[in-house]
Amino acid sequence: MNILDWQTKHQQQQKITVVTCYDYCSAQIVASTKIDAILVGDTLAMVMYGHATTIPATVEMMVLHTAAVARGAKNKFIIGDLPFLSYRQGLTQAMQTVQRFMVAGAQAIKLEGTVGNLELIKHVVASGVPVMGHIGMTPQSVHQLGGFKVQAKHKKAQDQLLQHALQLQDAGCFAIVLECVPSDAAKAVTEKLDVPTIGIGAGPDTSGQVIVWHDMLGLYKDFKPKFVKKYLNGFELMQQALNDYDADVKAKVFPNVEEHCY
């Protein structure tokens, strides 16, 4: 998948799959699958570092994890997620952030929101960097939104969602994440846009889906949004493996003289 394939897939009405990923070994697993693209999301602050929101994610953290993922998944399209306020302190500072992600191995960047970002998006795109937009529930604004809540529930907010999506498209975004909005609203936006929408908690009619690694693999226990589908009981499987190791050592079954010893 490269940047041109996003449009091709969208025109051919093929769904686009994106998964978040934060480390080298997990990236190698994604690299061996048919998943189209990886988002090194700022959700890493929550699922990798145990914070309650994405706000504590820093550029340093994000760039290190982007580089690790890029080493593990050389064949995948990698999107780096600009963390909280890392693109809101003037054009020069924002461009330095973008540069760090691209040097680390991202092929595109994502940023949240519309108002106040459009000139930056145009500048980043004009500088040769693909930009993914993100509207609806924008977790970096959690304190302004009053929590992780479904957005665009009413007509006025749905009209604004569409207006923001069109503005992001006009500014040059190659795709737009729609997070936690009613399915009908996401469908209406998707039908009006030329670029693909990538949904998370936005129903079945977006052009593709993104899901958080730890959510889909059943590793994150703190919080399970309604929109998550768990494909593995990862927590329990790993817990069992650790208890098996503990039992083997205590029963003196591991290490085995023939198999594991020099």
Q: Which residues are catalytic?
A: 179
| Near ligand KIV by CB under 6 A: residue from 16, 41, 164, 168 | 41
Please pick, from the candidates 68, 180, 212, 217, the single residue that binds ligand KIV as defined by CB under 6 A: 212
Closest contact distance (angstroms) between CB of 72 and ligand KIV is 17
**Smallest distance, Å, CB 212 to ligand KIV?**
5
Give residues 77-136 in contact with ligand KIV (rule: CB under 6 A).
81, 134
Residue 70 or 212 with smaller CB distance to ligand KIV: 212
Secondary structure in 3-state letters for the chain: CCHHHHHHHHHCCCCEEEEECCCHHHHHHHHCCCCCEEEECCCHHHHCCCCCCCCCCCHHHHHHHHHHHHHHCCCCEEEEECCCCCCCCCHHHHHHHHHHHHHHCCCEEECCCCCCCHHHHHHHHHCCCCEEEEEECCHHHHHHHCCCCCCCCCHHHHHHHHHHHHHHHHHCCCEEEEECCCHHHHHHHHHHCCCCEEEECCCCCCCEEEECHHHHCCCCCCCCCCCCCCCCCHHHHHHHHHHHHHHHHHCCCCCCHHHHCC
Which tokens is 101 given? 């992600």
Query: Shortest Cβ distance from residue 41 to ligand KIV (Å)?
Result: 2
- Shortest Cβ 20–ligand KIV spacing (Å): 4
* Binding of residue 36 to ligand KIV (CB under 6 A): no
Q: Is 43 in the site for ligand KIV (CB under 6 A)?
A: yes
Residues 156-185 that bind ligand KIV (CB under 6 A): 177, 179
Query: Least separation, in Å, of the C-beta of 213 and ligand KIV?
Result: 9
Q: Which stretch binds ligand KIV (CB under 6 A): 5-13, 21-29, 34-42, 66-74?
A: 34-42
Q: Which of 10, 16, 19, 20 binds ligand KIV (CB under 6 A)?
A: 20
* Residue 129 vs 200, nearer CB to ligand KIV: 200
95, 127 Cβ separation under 8 angstroms: yes
The span from the CA of 76 to the CA of 41, in Å, is 15
**Residue number, 20 or 169, with CB nearest to ligand KIV:** 20
Nearer to ligand KIV, 216 or 254 (CB): 216
User: Which positions lie near ligand KIV, rule CB under 6 A?
Assistant: 20, 39, 41-43, 81, 134, 177, 179, 200, 210, 212
